[in-house]
Amino acid sequence: MEYRKLGNSDLELSAITYGAFAIGGTMWGGNEKQDSIKAVHASLDHGVTSLDTAPFYGMGLSEELIGEAIKGKNRDKIQLLTKFGLVWDGSNNGKGDYFFDAESNGKTFPVYKYASKANIIKELEESLNRLGTDYIDLLQIHWPDSTTPIDETMEALNLLIEQGKIRAAGVCNYDLSQLKEAGKTIQLVSNQVPFSMLNRAIENEIVPYVIENNIGIIAYSPMERGLLTGKYFKEAKLKSDDHRNGYFGQFSAEKVKTLLDKIEPIAQSKNVSLSQLVLRWTTLQQGISVVLAGARNAAQAIENAKSADVTITASEMKLINDAISQF
How many of the other CB atoms lie within 10 Å of CB of 220?
A: 22
138: left (phi over 0), alpha (psi -120 to 50) or beta: beta
Annotated catalytic residue 57 = yes
Cβ proximity of 295 and 304 under 8 Å:
yes
Q: Could you give the 3-state DSSP secondary structure of residue 66?
A: helix
* Rounded Cα gap, residues 110 and 98, in angstroms: 7
Q: Rg for the chain (alpha carbons), in Å? A: 19
Q: What phi, psi does 151 have (nearest 5°)? A: -65, -30
| 84 sits in which H/E element | strand 79-84
Cβ proximity of 290 and 16 under 8 Å:
yes
Of 57, 114, 220, 232, catalytic:
57
* Rounded Cα gap, residues 78 and 137, in angstroms: 9
Length of the chain in terms of residues written: 327
| Residue positions annotated with a catalytic role | 57
